[in-house]
Amino acid sequence: MTPNTFDAMFPTRAVVAAHGVIKTSVEDFQVTELAPEITFSGSGEHLWLWVRKTDTNTDWAARCLAEACGVSSNQVGYAGLKDRHAITWQWFSVQLPLEHDIDRIQAALPDEIQIEQAQWHNKKLKTGFLKGNHFRISIKAIEGDKDSVEHNLGSILKQGVPNYFGPQRFGNDLSNIAKAKDLFSGRFKTRNKNLKGMLLSTARSHIFNDIIKWRIEHTCWDRVIEGDVMGLSGSKAWFHAHEESPEVLAARLQQGDVHITAALWGEDPVQSTLQCAEMEQSMADAVPEYQAGLKQFRAKQDRRPIRLMPENLTWQWPIPSDKNELILSFDLPAGSYATAVLREVLQAKDHNR
């Protein structure tokens, strides 16, 4: 199987010696939204709906809900986008000051969208109200070194995976990279704020992924270098590595209590220092169009962990004797990508592409 452009640009940490196919049917890729604990008020004009979607993207489902409820699209809320070629479960909210008939709403929706639970609440569901997602993924037609698959999964349990932004962030065939450069250089103009935001994210994600690539190639993906900034697991808090003794820091890193971070580039100085800052600056300097654009749009420096630790990771071979199908189950925090896990196990080709 020939590596795709994304895989060629951003190397895996593991030795990948097997390949398979995902999404041969929608049942093969299932995503369940993990929301923070919710205490519904039981009253109010916002109807929260737990929805099962089949082969349906989130934006289209939101438009269908708006139409079925007779409201405008800005009265529908959801926490995040989900894969289209999959079965997915997630919350939506619809502002309904008058309509209370759930059965009528369901009857007006296409078969691909099924309401499984409904709750009244006094608040709209906002973007980002999300802990993460649970994935159940079936990989079929597996060929190659299947023992390497088991080895890689065992390694992920102990060490996690590089927290790359996935290929979805960069568009089909990474086309958003060229568009971002054209936008920042003035060769491409648009008034679409969503498109501008997407291309801004592409630029920051590209620099971030290049930093991970450098650290993998220089064997310090899981090793602290001078000037590193550490992030607390499950938190946005961070601290400079030199504030902790090397022995304590190494132990916390191994336990998964802290993670090395990398820059999400912005107009202000990078938060790292010494060797890390020099390296991160060199990654940004390699793409001058990005630096100019991020300054123009006033993006602020931030940090993101370079390691992703899937939780509740399990796997099974439904027919152990031939091992042609593998079922993976794991939880990921919001903002991370299932592709970051899959690509460290084997090369997974999307049946729909």
HEC per residue, 121-139: ECCCCCCCCCCEEEEEEEE
Which residues partner with 89 through β-bridges?
A: 32, 52
Q: What pLDDT is stored for residue 147 in this prediction?
A: 94
- Name the nearest CA neighbour of 153 among 349, 322, 313: 313
What is the CA 170 to chain-centroid distance, rounded? 12
- pLDDT tens-digit profile of 201-232? 999 999 999 999 999 999 999 999 999 999 99
For the domain 36-121, what is the CATH code? Answer: 3.30.2350.20
Beta-strand relationship, 113-121 and 229-232: unpaired
Q: Does the pLDDT at position 113 exceed 60?
A: yes
The average confidence (pLDDT) of the chain is 94
194: pLDDT confidence band, cut at 50, 70 and 90?
confident
279 Cβ contact list (under 8 Å, min separation 6): 211, 214, 225
Level-2 CATH architecture, domain 161-308: 2-Layer Sandwich (3.30)
Whether 347 contacts 19, CB under 8 Å: yes
CA torsion through residues 266, 267, 268, 274, sign: positive
Q: What pLDDT is stored for residue 56 in this prediction?
A: 96
Catalytic choice (7, 55, 83, 285): 83
198 phi/psi in degrees, rounded to 5: -65, -40
Cα distance between residue 319 and residue 267, in whole Å: 53
What are the extents of the domains in the chain?
Answer: 5-28+132-157+309-350, 36-121, 161-308
Same fold, 5-28+132-157+309-350 and 36-121: yes
Active-site residue, 83 included: yes
Superfamily of domain 5-28+132-157+309-350: TruD, catalytic domain (3.30.2350.20)
5: pLDDT confidence band, cut at 50, 70 and 90?
confident
Whether 339 contacts 345, CB under 8 Å: no
Q: What pLDDT is stored for residue 322 in this prediction?
A: 87
For residue 213, which amino acid is it?
Answer: K
The pTM is what?
Answer: 0.94
Mean predicted confidence (pLDDT) in 53-74: 96
Inter-CA distances, 15 with 153, 155, 219, 239, Å: 11, 11, 14, 32
229 against 236, higher pLDDT: 229
